[in-house]
Amino acid sequence: MEESLLELGTMLMIAGMGTVFVFLTVLVGAMSLMATVVKRFQPAVADDQVTFEEVAAIAAAIRRHRQP
């Protein structure tokens, strides 16, 4: 039997949506794997204390930015 145009469109839609779903699933898996690898090999960040001079400089920059 010959398939109708509606059936062909439905098959194409299902194939396209399935392809996108598989691609996005693989992408999420790859991103999770990359995040795990980066966390493992990235050096730990030191917890440095913020100095008074840094706080004063940031506050002055914000004040100057907000001035009309």
pTM of the model: 0.56
Residue 48 pLDDT grade (very low, low, confident, very high; cuts 50, 70, 90)? confident
Instruction: Tell me the average pLDDT of the chain.
Output: 92
The percentage of residues in the chain with a pLDDT greater than 70, rounded to a whole number, is 97
Write down the H helix ranges in 1-68: 5-41, 52-66
Q: Mapping DSSP to helix (H, G, I), strand (E, B) and coil, where does residue 28 land?
A: helix
Q: For position 3, what pLDDT does the model report?
A: 83
- To which residue do tokens 């098959």 refer? 11
Q: Work out whether the CA dihedral 50, 54, 59, 64 comes out positive or negative.
A: negative
pLDDT at residue 2 greater than cutoff 90 = no
Q: For position 1, what pLDDT does the model report?
A: 63
d(CA 55, CA 61): 10
